[in-house]
């Protein structure tokens, strides 16, 4: 009889991590509790209980100590209650479950109706629903999804251990029932790998033995998958349940195990099956599924001697699905050939960890962070190294601060073994892979992505959207852009145009967003635009005759004559491109789509105060601004001009105004008349000169008399 061990059998990464952390916790003083059984394996739970780890389902039972949150996770109420009771929490929620919780919480907060594809009574699903404040709906299959009352925006998430086929069936139903559906496939890839490996091995052997707790959903589903392959399948929880009658006249036996099954139980199962074959006295081997038909582990007599109670074989009634929060770095059994003794079997089992290949996406734990690298434990023969250039899409100055010891991070294997024997990893490429998937979803949904412009490159801009994206120059603004440097450091809102998953980059467009918003604003503006309104606008372009102002998707002309109450030679004297101003709507021509605007109409009219500011007979200083044959116009203030008639330019006959004054000359004038309603002010230089001559003559006369008086007084 040959025994074959399936790939991906035994503890998943999340379970192994949880068990290791609890075993460490019990080595330090203080009580340790798990909120619910740590894993779905009674033997492991019993072993932990012997170590002093108690299982609770009510925090009121704990007065002091540490409470472990198992990998299935819990709702926020549990965390709050633990904090209120002053209990220390050791959170061992599977990172992938935590991701689903966060997504469910975020979707609910933004107005989505969340639907969880999974088993409503499963603790993982219960915890996810709790993160939506109980608002999420749950569907275990397509039939249940048909009965859901959904409307508005719907977000579909999955229990991490759901079968992909079931998830797709539920998605099909929801797409038919709702207009807007956002889908996030949150099923663990390692779950699928374990199921596929078990199903493949079941097709090559005569009997399958599935090892794991009977209350473990993922183990039950493994058994159903094997039974569906048409091979007799036996689900056992403990090694002593093996029955010799199962293997009569059997030449090939396959073994697989659920994600909550510890290695020592699998080793014991293999050991007992080895003893069943001792009469044959052939060299026994345990091999991986990849070598299944070529390198048998155990060759023994067809008449095994060990027997136990014979449970009913597993049938295909019910659903075959998987339950196990797992990741690529899960230690997987490859079962190398060794001596038949138990101790040697244990050694071979420990040495059977999966060999990582270049390009594999795995999850590891940060064990050290230095200036130029990060060391990550990925469950291999040694830690892997993430060099500084592979730490992030934008290479940081130092790796310190990018990650902390104990962090779980995803990495891609660049070199399984470099020249010096170390494994080289890339966090950057893992981030890029994940971001590419997110960008594909953003593109499909027509959503907007934000990113910082980090550099000007040939033909456009490079932007950071989690990966390095490219915005062509033609896709930056709605119009032509000449200077690209000014955009560096700005944050763009963009649409995803193209994605190159092979090179991990994307082509994006800010123009698409601006154009879409412009058209929406334009339609709304035309609907509400009326003459006499005061509207806010942005100066977009200057010309010699005025400025064009965007008042909400509609460009209006602000003529140079409407810029100010005073004289303006060029619009640049008053406004500049980019200025946000308030303007008065003078005229709206919907047929020709033309709008005339005024800035001076929203400014104070200087003519309203001229009577008070420039009373008749007052002398003021003015600037000559224009000459005519009949006189000179002088500016009292911007927007207020007065006329110095040619007859009032001097106290002698003047043939031409330019014989007396020049443009821009400052002169003193007497206010002769103010007609506010007609906006006319009459001024006189002659009257000021005449008054000056009289004063000067009087002063001269005083100076002539004063010395005589002084002389007389001296006499």
Pick from 413, 411, 290: nearest CA to 357: 413
Write the CB contacts of 254 (distance below 8 Å, at least 6 apart in sequence): 4, 5, 6, 198, 201, 202, 204, 205, 207, 208, 209, 226, 231
Q: What's the Rg (C-alpha) of the chain?
A: 43
Cα separation of 689 and 683, whole Å? 13
- 316: pLDDT confidence band, cut at 50, 70 and 90? very low
Can 13-91 and 529-602 be said to share one CATH topology? no
Q: Which tops the pLDDT comparison, 710 or 116?
A: 116
- 704: pLDDT confidence band, cut at 50, 70 and 90? low
Q: CA–CA distance from 129 to each of 105, 110, 217, 250, 710 (Å)?
A: 9, 16, 19, 47, 111
Tell me, what's the pLDDT at 603? 83
Superfamily of domain 361-431: Nucleic acid-binding proteins (2.40.50.140)
pLDDT in tens, 167-203: 989 999 999 888 889 999 888 766 777 888 888 899 9
The correct answer on CATH 3.40.1010.20 for the domain covering 192-350 is yes
Q: In what order do the strands lie in the sheet with 180-183?
A: 137-139, 113-117, 153-158, 180-183
Residues of the chain with pLDDT > 90, as a percent, come to 28
Q: Report the interhelical angle of 217-228 vs 189-202 (nearest 10°).
A: 40
Catalytic residues: 124
- 325: pLDDT confidence band, cut at 50, 70 and 90? very low
Pick from 282, 258, 284, 118: nearest CA to 195: 258
Average pLDDT over residues 680-699: 75
295: alpha, beta or left, given left = phi > 0 and alpha = psi -120 to 50? Answer: beta
Tell me, what's the pLDDT at 138? 94
Pick from 389, 510, 506: nearest CA to 437: 506
Segment among 234-248, 483-497, 535-549 with least mean pLDDT: 234-248
Tell me, what's the pLDDT at 380? 58
- 292: pLDDT confidence band, cut at 50, 70 and 90? very low
SS3 65: coil
The answer on pLDDT for 585 being more than 50 is: yes
Tell me, what's the pLDDT at 634? 92
Tell me, what's the pLDDT at 709? 42
Residues of the chain with pLDDT > 70, as a percent, come to 83
Tell me, what's the pLDDT at 355? 64
CATH of 13-91, one of 3.30.365.10, 3.40.50.11270, 3.90.120.10, 3.30.200.20: 3.40.50.11270
330: alpha, beta or left, given left = phi > 0 and alpha = psi -120 to 50? Answer: beta
The answer on pLDDT for 637 being more than 90 is: no
pLDDT in tens, 126-139: 999 999 999 999 99
Average pLDDT, the chain: 80
Q: In this structure, are residues 267 and 346 in contact, taking their beta carbons and an 8 Å threshold?
A: yes
Q: Enter the DSSP assignment of 400.
A: B
Tell me, what's the pLDDT at 695? 60
Cα separation of 86 and 64, whole Å? 8
Average pLDDT over residues 650-660: 90
Segment among 161-175, 322-336, 362-376, 498-512 with least mean pLDDT: 322-336
Q: In what order do the strands lie in the sheet with 66-69?
A: 53-56, 32-35, 66-69, 88-91
Residue 94, both tokens? 């599977």
Tell me, what's the pLDDT at 702? 56
| β-strand pairing of 619-628 with 640-645 | unpaired
Q: Which tops the pLDDT comparison, 348 or 565?
A: 565
As its CATH architecture, domain 529-602 has Beta Barrel (2.40)
pLDDT in tens, 521-565: 888 888 888 888 899 999 988 999 999 999 888 889 999 888 888
Segment among 121-125, 187-191, 298-302 with least mean pLDDT: 298-302
Cα separation of 204 and 202, whole Å? 5
Q: Which tops the pLDDT comparison, 470 or 393?
A: 470
Q: Enter the DSSP assignment of 278.
A: G
Q: In this structure, are residues 557 and 593 in contact, taking their beta carbons and an 8 Å threshold?
A: no
pTM, 2 dp: 0.41
Superfamily of domain 606-691: Nucleic acid-binding proteins (2.40.50.140)
What are the extents of the domains in the chain?
A: 13-91, 95-189, 192-350, 361-431, 529-602, 606-691
Instruction: Classify 95-189 by CATH class.
Output: alpha beta
The answer on pLDDT for 333 being more than 60 is: no
Q: In what order do the strands lie in the sheet with 207-211?
A: 2-5, 252-257, 207-211, 233-236
Segment among 361-375, 545-559, 696-710 with least mean pLDDT: 696-710
pLDDT in tens, 10-51: 777 677 777 778 877 777 888 888 888 887 777 788 888 888
Tell me, what's the pLDDT at 288? 47
Q: In this structure, are residues 714 and 708 in contact, taking their beta carbons and an 8 Å threshold?
A: no
Tell me, what's the pLDDT at 301? 33
Segment among 55-59, 286-290, 357-361, 367-371 with least mean pLDDT: 286-290
- 107: pLDDT confidence band, cut at 50, 70 and 90? very high
The answer on pLDDT for 340 being more than 90 is: no
Pick from 70, 53, 68: nearest CA to 126: 70
The answer on pLDDT for 90 being more than 70 is: yes
Tell me, what's the pLDDT at 65? 81
């Amino acid at each position: 009889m040959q025994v074959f061990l399936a790939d991906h059998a035994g503890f998943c990464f999340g379970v192994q991590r949880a068990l290791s952390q609890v075993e460490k916790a019990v080595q330090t003083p203080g009580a340790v509790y798990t909120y619910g059984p740590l894993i779905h394996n009674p033997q492991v739970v019993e072993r932990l209980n012997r170590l002093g780890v108690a299982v609770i389902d009510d925090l009121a039972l704990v007065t002091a100590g540490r409470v472990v949150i198992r990998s299935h996770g819990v709702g926020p109420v549990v965390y709050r209650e633990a904090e209120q009771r002053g209990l220390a929490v050791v959170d061992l929620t599977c990172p992938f479950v935590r991701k689903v919780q966060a997504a469910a919480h975020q979707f609910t907060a933004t107005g989505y109706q969340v639907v969880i594809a999974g088993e409503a009574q499963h603790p993982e699903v219960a915890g996810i629903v709790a993160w939506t404040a109980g608002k999420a709906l749950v569907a275990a299959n397509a039939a249940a999804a048909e009965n859901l009352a959904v409307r508005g925006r719907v977000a579909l998430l999955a229990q991490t251990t759901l079968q992909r086929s079931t998830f797709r069936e539920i998605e099909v139903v929801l797409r038919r029932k709702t207009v807007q559906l956002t889908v996030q496939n949150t099923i663990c890839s390692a779950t699928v790998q374990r199921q596929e490996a078990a199903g493949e091995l079941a097709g090559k052997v005569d009997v399958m033995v599935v090892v794991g707790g009977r209350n473990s959903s993922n183990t039950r589903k493994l058994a159903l998958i094997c039974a569906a392959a048409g091979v007799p399948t036996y689900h056992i929880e403990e090694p002593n349940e093996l029955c010799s009658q199962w293997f009569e006249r059997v030449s090939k036996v396959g073994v697989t195990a659920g994600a909550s099954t510890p290695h020592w139980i699998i080793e014991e199962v293999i050991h007992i099956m080895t003893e069943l074959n001792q009469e044959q006295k052939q060299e026994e081997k345990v091999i991986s599924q990849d070598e299944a038909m070529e390198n048998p582990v155990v060759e023994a007599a067809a008449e095994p001697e060990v027997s136990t109670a014979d449970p009913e074989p597993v049938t295909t009634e019910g659903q075959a699905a998987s339950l196990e929060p797992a990741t690529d770095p899960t230690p997987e059994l490859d079962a190398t050939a060794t001596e038949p003794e138990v101790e040697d079997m244990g050694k071979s089992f420990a040495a059977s960890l999966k060999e990582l290949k270049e390009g594999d996406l795995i999850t590891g734990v940060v064990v050290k962070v230095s200036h130029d690298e990060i060391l990550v434990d990925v469950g291999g023969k040694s830690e892997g190294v993430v060099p500084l250039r592979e730490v992030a899409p934008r290479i940081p100055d130092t790796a310190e601060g990018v990650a902390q010891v104990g962090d779980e991070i995803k990495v891609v294997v660049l070199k399984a073994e470099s020249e010096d024997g170390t494994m080289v990893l890339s966090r950057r490429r893992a981030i890029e892979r994940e971001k590419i998937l997110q960008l594909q979803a953003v593109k499909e949904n027509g959503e907007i992505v934000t990113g910082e412009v980090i550099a000007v490159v040939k033909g456009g801009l490079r932007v950071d959207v989690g990966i390095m994206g490219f915005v062509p120059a033609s896709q930056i603004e709605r119009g032509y852009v000449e200077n690209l440097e000014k955009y560096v450091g700005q944050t763009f809102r963009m649409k995803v145009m193209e994605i190159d998953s092979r090179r991990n980059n994307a082509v994006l467009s800010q123009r698409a967003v601006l154009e879409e918003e412009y058209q929406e604003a334009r339609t709304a503006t035309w609907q509400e635009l009326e003459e006499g309104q005061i509207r806010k606008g942005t100066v977009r372009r200057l010309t010699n005759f005025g400025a064009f102002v965007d008042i909400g998707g509609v460009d209006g002309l602000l003529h140079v004559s409407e810029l100010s109450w005073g004289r303006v030679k060029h619009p640049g004297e008053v406004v500049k491109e980019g200025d946000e101003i308030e303007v008065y709507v003078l005229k709206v021509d919907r047929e020709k789509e033309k709008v005339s605007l005024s800035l001076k109409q929203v400014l104070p009219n200087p003519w309203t105060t001229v009577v008070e500011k420039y009373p008749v007979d007052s002398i003021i200083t003015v600037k000559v601004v224009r000459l005519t044959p009949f006189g000179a116009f002088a500016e009292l203030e911007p927007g207020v001009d007065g006329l110095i008639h040619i007859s009032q330019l001097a106290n002698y006959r003047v043939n031409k105004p330019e014989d007396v004054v020049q443009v821009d000359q400052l002169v003193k004038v007497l206010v002769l008349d103010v007609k506010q309603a007609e906006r006319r002010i009459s001024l006189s230089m002659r009257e000021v000169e005449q008054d000056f001559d009289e004063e000067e003559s009087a002063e001269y006369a005083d100076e002539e008399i004063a010395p005589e008086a002084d002389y007389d007084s001296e006499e």
